Each structure stands twice: as structure tokens, then as C-alpha cells.
A and B are shown apart, each in its own frame.
Chain A
Amino acid sequence: MLVKFNVNGDTVEVDVEPRVSLADCLRDVLHLTGTHLGCEHGVCGACTVIIDGEAVRSCLTLAVQADGATIVTVEGLSNDNALTPLQAAFRKHHALQCGFCTPGMITTAHALLTEEPDADAERVRDVLSGNICRCTGYVPIVEAVLEARAAYANPDKADAS
């Protein structure tokens, strides 16, 4: 099936079998390998991308469902050589180790703070609890997301792109 959507600012058209997940389409067809697959059953959050402003599990979304959508993956959040304030806060707080869950954490947090720039610690923990990280113990991830709130309150700073 031919599917057309916008990903990270580029309109793309792909020919995929109806059973192909959006995650596989992004990784294998579009070579956007920043989106990672951790469980293929929607439970770990590593594959989270932003579809029309909402954080969505790309392993549970079929590529054909994305027809006409606007998708942002981790590759689309920042310019080539600059971290966004959210990414910079992750680095500052050592909120990543192996980096495998990180794209899903970043996209989840970005979608949250875009909607709720004043989310408190409990709300941040609650939302992030949909994503599994095996390395960090979550403490620094929560700290990083809380720190990044300031940039989202002033939306010009939130997205370097």
C-alpha cells in the first residue's frame, strides 16, 4: 500500500505491506533508526514517536494508519549540532546511560511538556512510568524533565528546529 505522511518536516511516500508497523517502516524503510524497538507489544515505550502532537507507540501503530499524519521522531527534535533544552537537561542530569530507551523518553517528555509545561514531579513520574529504562533508576530522568519545563513555558526555546 502507498502511504504518505510527513516525518520530521519531510513529506515521504512509502510502499508497505498493510501489516508493517510504523516502527519497522521508520527503521527499515526510511532508515530513521533513532526510534528503537524494545518489546513490540506496547509496554516499554522505547519506540515512542509523536504523531500529530501526541506521544504514540510506533510498534502498535501500523504504517498505513499514519497516512496523512505529521510525525516527529527523535531525529526531528533538534538541529544537527544543537541539543534542545530537553536533550541538554538529559545530558546535564546524566539521565541516560546505554541510550536505548532514551529516544522514547525524550519524545514522551517532549509531548508531555508541550501540552503541560507546568507538569509537577508526580505528573512527570506518572507519564514516564509508561517507559522502561533499565539503566538509570529514573531519578535523573525525572530531574531532567522537570528542569526542561522552563523552556516549554517559553515555547520559542523548547525546539531548536
Chain B
Amino acid sequence: MNATGIGAAVKRKEDFRFLTGQGTYTDDINRPGQAYAYILRSPLAHANIKNIDTTAAKAADGVLAVFIGDDMAADGVGGIPCGWGVNNKDGSAMAEPAHPALAQGKVRYVGDQVAIVIAETYTQAKDAAETISVDYEELPAVINMEAALAGGPLVHDDAPGNMSYDWGLGDLDAVNEGFKNATQVSKIDIVNNRLIPNAMEPRAGIGEYDTATGEYTLYTTTQNPHVIRLLMGAFVLNIPEHKLRIVSPDVGGGFGSKIFHYAEEAILTWAAGKIQRPIKWTAERSDAFISDAHGRDHITHAELAMDADGKFLALKVSTKANMGAYLSTFATSVPTYLYGTLLAGVYSTPAVYVEVKSVFTNTVPVDAYRGAGRPEASYLLERLVDRAARETGHSQVDLRRKNFIPNDAFPYQTPVALAYDSGDYNASLDEALKRADVVGFEARKAESERNGKRRGLGYSTYIEACGIAPSAVAGALGARAGLYESANVRVHPTGSVTVYTGSHSTGQGHETAFAQLVSDTLGVSLESVDIVHGDTNKVQFGMGTYGSRSLAVGGEALMKALNKITDKAGKIAAHCLEASEADIEFKDGQFSVAGTDKSMAFSDVALTAYVPHNFPHETLEPGLEENAFYDPANFTFPGGCHICEVEIDPDTGTVSVENFVAVDDVGRVINPMIVEGQVHGGVAQGIGQALLEGCIYDESGQLTTGSFMDYTMPRADNIPNMDVGNTVTLCAHNSLGVKGCGEVGAIGSPPAVINAIVDSLWGLGVRDIAMPATPQKIWQAIATAQTSQAAE
């Protein structure tokens, strides 16, 4: 390894601009002649639009235009598409109601887009929007999933029963057989609370139309510019790719919420063409709460069948997943292919069956949020296994070890479609047990009890599927896009390098980690490498950043391109050094002839490629630039063990996270500092979900947690210090052996926290606690348990 190559904890290249206020986020960009937009949103969860009167708004100071849904319909603008088709159990297609960018005839959630007002200044646009008179005929709203399925008001006339699909996976007969043979069954009813992603940078965009070239440009806060170009160009606005440019500069966090094609993107781009001026829009935080796709929101019943020895025989899961009012871009894949397929977990359960009903409600659309389906799977499984251990008299560690997929079983075919390539679940459990000083727990617990407190320990041994995914598999499972990645490596004449990657960064540090791959492979310094992403006019093509795929898929594409570079450079060196290709060795940036002192620096080879006076013209073209596309052979499967220790004050219900240990197997680590940072951030979001965050709608569909005053974000005084470590098994099917680290924290941590709380309160008779486990809920659970015990 060189000092800046694979495995080095080098400091980030991107930090200087961020630390000095010189980053360029979308809202930092201003275009000549730019106008400003305000999006008028529905204040009602469900209503027919009888009439919209924009006369006063159009006449207001500075207003350039006002558009409503009818205007877009008149131009033949299409609806916002869903990117993943899921079939029902009977093979029929899911219900997929139209999703107009600006509401047409009906609004379906508080926040639904009703009109765009464009003016010389933002305040003029906002003031004018207040004069728009919308005649709403309010309809009963349906918020609760159970009510929606039980004959509640229809969100869409063409989605009977408010269901998009009723999907199933697994061998139901085998599962039923397992339950028949079971001596012990543990059951759980569980809610995965609805979350609001809240990346710190609100979404923003600038639409622009060039009358001279007929080219549209959209600056937007997206995780995947090419996906937006494809979806918006081909399905919504009918603009061919060569006339549509998507630019996504520095992105201030995404966590999934900036994957999706949002209505505002299409509205801005279309409207820019109408008024032939650039139009800028920036979400206020209150817009973000009611228009960024929310996450999670599952209700599940599950049963685990075991034999007398605690061996898992079968698992049966029934889940309802909230879609909100419309199908967001990848919403349909989250509770199916990213959830149902993970329900084997790290266990060798021979039979698993899962059914998922996806439900329309009058709420903000729900889609992928950090982990996307996998946190829901790990939360369910690890809460159920925790309960099974308590009910069967096993220790948490023993029941898990007894059922782990053994190391010699890889590649391991699960009963729910996935084939795990590698893992060592005992190794991460052992390491976590050591770091968490589980041996000393009883003494710490006794000390807490002497102080009138309760102490608990919670485990989570989880797995996830990352690096999504093989295109062929994704296609067979309903994806309407490929899931490969691309890279272009352009070596310049003096040996510096520009990489164009189809991945993108929302803060993960790709400009550093990808440059480390280049430095490692070509022997050049990090300073001589630039990573370019986020602009469809610069980058050849790409699928973007999500599902912890950037390194496992984008990094592999880069390695393929780099290998083509060293291959060609080796041929050029062989020519210049008058040696055969077979005798050329490449190390630390030097090509040398084996067994001689003849050598040539990489930068000299690059110069020769561009100043080809002495060059093998008969076999090679001048220049040194290579492209590669990489489509992975399988998902990657990071996994690990999280252990959380809490202390609870039973008088107040207050939880203190005393220790949090995360031991993750993310495969080979390229930059340990960045990996640790990803785990820290993921765990903080997981602790947030477990203890603080929860989205609440009232019965009429008003979001009551619509600001940072009402929705509790984790802050510096909520998040403990963490002990983060790694065990390593290499991914078996990519050259780097990497698995992905962006989501492990958010996937592994929530069950560890809640299991710790349940552990601390089990002796008081508390059997369950719902997320977020607020002091009020905990206090109430203790009080209820004690009342019922007293009554017995």
C-alpha cells in the first residue's frame, strides 16, 4: 500500500472548500436573468379542486407567470413515473395511479403541488401566491394504514382498497410445515416508525432554457443526475437526452431522500421553457417536511417457529407498508426487494415467507431512507430473536450463535432469493462482546440498581444487501432501470488524472476515496487526481449514489477503467523501453523491464501517449483515456454486530445510552476514517429513530411534526461516544473485496437500542416499547406493567 492508497486514512480532498465556506451547493448558484419561484401547496390532505383563480396573482407586482396543473396537461406533460414495478401474488401488475406534477382536479396530501408562481424576486412570488384562491371541496382523508385497507376513503379511484400491491415471497407450504413441527413459537407485532430524512440542505433547483440551442438545463439537489435526466426527459417532459443537462453540484446530504425525481424538478424545467428565463426555487424547511419523501412506516406481524433446542424452523411475516399518496420513484421496491429478501438475516432459517401489502394514504409519499427496507428487516428480525431468546430461556448470544449461517456455508442461498457470498457472523459478535465488556455488565447493572436505575444490554446481529445490483436480477425483479456504474479515466499529457464517475457524492468523500484508488493503481499523488461527478454534460452516464453502492459498483467501474489504462500504458512503455510486454512490470508509478535497470515513469508514458513521436502507431491509438461500465455479479452483503447499553431512570423514563459498540464487516476498507464517519452518522440516525424521531399526522392529515421544533432531530447532547470497529471478510465477486458502509449504522442500531431498553425493563414486566422510545412512553410502559402486575 502506498501512503495515499487503499487502506490509508488520508484526510479528505473536499474539506478545504467546505471548511472555508467555498462549497457550491445548488442554492449558491445564480444564473443571469434568473427569476424566482414559489410552489403553492395543498393545505388539505384530501380535496377536490373545484376552481383555481390566479387572476390577482398574475397581476401582482413582479409576477412573470402563474401555472397550474391544467397548464401542464395542456402541454402534454406526463406524470411523475415510478421506477420499479411490483407484481401481486397472483402475477397481476400493481396499481399505479397517475402522479401529475401539479395537481389536476384533486389534492391527495398536505404539501401536494397546486401552482407555481414565478416573479422577479422570491418574496414577490410568495406574496402573490397568497392571493391565489383555490376552491377546495374537502374530502375525508385516510391516514392510518389499517383504516385505508378496511374500506377507508379512496385515495385513488384506480387503486381499489387503497392497495398498490399484495406481494409475497417464499415457500408458504414449507413455512407451514415448519410451524407444524415447531415446539416453540415466538410472535411479535411491531411498528417501524415513519421518519423524515431531513438532510441539512433543503432541496433546490434552477430550471433554464437556452433559446439558441434548444437545450434545457436543470441544476438540482439530486443523488443521481443521469437518472433524473432519463426519468424527466423520457417520461415527463419529452426532452431528448442531448437537449437536457442535469447539474448537481455539492449536495448537502441526501440519505436517500434526494434519489427521487420530484415534481418540482419537472415543473421548473418546463416553466423555464415557457417563460424563457432561468427560474430558481429553494425549499424552505417547512416545504421539506411536507414534500421530501418520508421513510420507513411499516406495520408487521411475525412469527418464528423453533424446535425444542431453539433452532429456527420457519419464519412467517406479514407487513403493511405505507406508500403515502403517490408511488415515489423507488417506493415500491423498498418493502419488497429491499426488505422481504433480507428476512433470512444472518440465520439459517430454512423456510421464510413474507407478504407485503402496500397502502395508499393521504400522506407525503414514502420512499427509500438510509437503509431502505433493510432497517425494517433487521429491526423486525432482531426484535423477534431477542424476544425468542427471552421466551425460550436462551441467552441472547447463544440463540444467535446456534442459528448463525456457518462460515463454511458460503455461498449461502437463502429461502428468500438472495445468495450471500461471504461473512463471518461469529467474528463480529465476538469482537463486539469484547469491546462492549459484556463480562462486566452484571457489575454495572448492580451499580445502577443501587442508584435506583435500570440497566440493559441490547444486541443486533444484522445483515444487509448493498451495492445494488446486478441489472439482470434487478430487471427480473421489476426494476425499470439498469444498476451498473460507469467511469472514465482521462490521463493528461503530464500525468495528472481526471476521473469522471457516474456515481455522485452527498458528502461521503468520494473525491478522496476514489482518488485513493487512482493513487494506488497508477502511483500518482492524490493532488494530481480530480474526481468529477454530478453533471450529465461532463460524465458519460451513471446511476448515482444510493444503497451503499458508490464504491462497490462505481469504484469497481473505476478499477476496470484504471486497469485498461495500465494495460495500454504498459504497451507504450514496452515500445519505448524496447522490451516485450510480458517483461514490463509496473510498481509505484514506474514501468520497468524485469531484471534490468531500464524504467519509465508513468508521467513520461502519458506524455508519450499525447506527443507520440516514438509510439507504436501500428497497434495503438495515441492518447490515454479509458471508459468502463461495471455491472456487478451480485449484491454485496455487509453485516455485523451492534451492542447498546442503556441506563434508565424509572422515575422519569429517561434513557441514557451509556455505551454503543458497532462492529461491522464492510469488506476491504479503502479509507478507515471515512468508514468510521459513515458508521457514526448511520448509528446517530438509528439512535434518532429509536429514541427521538417520529413523524405524526393528525386524523385530518395535518403533519403535526412539521418543523424542527416538533420533529426531534438527534443533537450533540443526545448522541453518545461510540466504539466502532471492523471485522473483514472480502466480497467474493468484486476485485476490491468491498461491500459498502453507508447504511450499516442505520440498519444495525435501532434494534440494539430498543432491545437494550426492553432488557432493562423486562424484570418490571415490560415486554415491548415502540419507537421512538421517549421518556413518556417508557414511563407509561413501566406504570402500565406495574399496575397489571399489582392486579394479578
Contacts and interface: CB of A to CB of B under 8 A. Distances in A.
Contact of B716 (A43, A99, A129): A129
Contacts of B721: 139
Which 6 pairs between the two chains have the least Cβ-Cβ distance? A34-B21, A98-B507, A99-B18, A100-B252, A137-B684, A137-B680
Contact of B677 (A97, A100, A106): A97
Contacts of A99: 14-15, 17-19, 23, 250, 252, 507
Interface of B: 11-12, 14-25, 27-28, 123, 198-202, 250-253, 255, 284-286, 506-509, 673-674, 676-677, 680-685, 707-709, 713-719, 721-722, 745
Contact of A137 (B16, B509, B719): B719
A101 B708 contact: no
A94 B677 contact: yes
Contact of B722 (A36, A75, A137, A141): A137
Nearest to B14: A99
Contact of A142 (B683, B714, B716): B716
B200 A101 contact: yes
Given A40-B285, A129-B715, A137-B683, A90 B25 contact: no
Contacts of B508: 97
Nearest to A98: B507
A55 interface: no
A64 interface: no
A100 B201 contact: yes
Contacts of A142: 716
With most chain B CB atoms within 10 A of its CB, the pick from A90, A98, A136 is: A98
A60 to B, nearest CB: 13
Nearest to A31: B30
21 contacts: A17-B123, A38-B200, A38-B201, A39-B708, A41-B285, A41-B707, A46-B200, A74-B21, A87-B19, A94-B11, A94-B674, A96-B15, A98-B199, A98-B252, A98-B506, A100-B23, A100-B201, A126-B717, A131-B716, A132-B200, A133-B716
Contacts of A33: 21, 24-25, 27-28
A73 B253 contact: no
B20 A94 contact: no
Contacts of A101: 200
Contacts of B200: 36, 38, 44, 46, 98, 100-101, 132-135
Contacts of A97: 253, 507-509, 677, 681
A117 interface: no
Contact of A134 (B18, B20, B199): B199
Contacts of B680: 136-137, 139-140
Contacts of B684: 136-138
Contacts of B507: 97-100, 135
Contact residue range for chain A?
Answer: 35 or more
A103 B198 CA distance: 18
A77 B19 CA distance: 10
Interface of A: 17, 19, 27, 32-41, 43-44, 46, 73-75, 77-78, 83, 87, 90-92, 94, 96-103, 106, 124-126, 128-142
Main secondary structure of the interface of B (DSSP, over half): loop
A110 to B, nearest CB: 12
A135 B253 contact: yes
A130 B715 CA distance: 8
Contacts of B683: 137
B284 A40 contact: yes
A40 B717 CA distance: 22
A98 B19 contact: no
Contacts of A78: 19-20
A134 B11 contact: no
B251 A98 contact: yes
Contacts of B719: 137-139
Contacts of A46: 200
A21 to B, nearest CB: 11
B15 A90 contact: yes
B297 to A, nearest CB: 19
Given A125-B717, A136-B677, A36 B252 contact: yes
A120 to B, nearest CB: 13
Given A98-B201, A100-B252, A75 B21 contact: yes
A141 to B, nearest CB: 7
B285 A100 contact: no
A83 B15 CA distance: 10
Nearest to A133: B200
Given A98-B199, A135-B507, A138-B716, A34 B22 contact: yes
With most chain B CB atoms within 10 A of its CB, the pick from A90, A125, A134 is: A134
A83 B19 contact: yes
A78 B721 CA distance: 30
Nearest to B17: A99
A52 B15 CA distance: 27
A140 B199 CA distance: 19
Nearest to A87: B19
Given A38-B285, A96-B18, 20 more contacts: A19-B123, A38-B200, A44-B200, A78-B19, A78-B20, A97-B509, A97-B681, A98-B199, A98-B250, A99-B252, A101-B200, A102-B18, A132-B713, A134-B199, A135-B677, A136-B680, A137-B719, A138-B719, A139-B721, A139-B722
With most chain A CB atoms within 10 A of its CB, the pick from B17, B199, B255, B507 is: B507
B21 A134 contact: no
A7 B285 CA distance: 27
B16 A98 contact: no
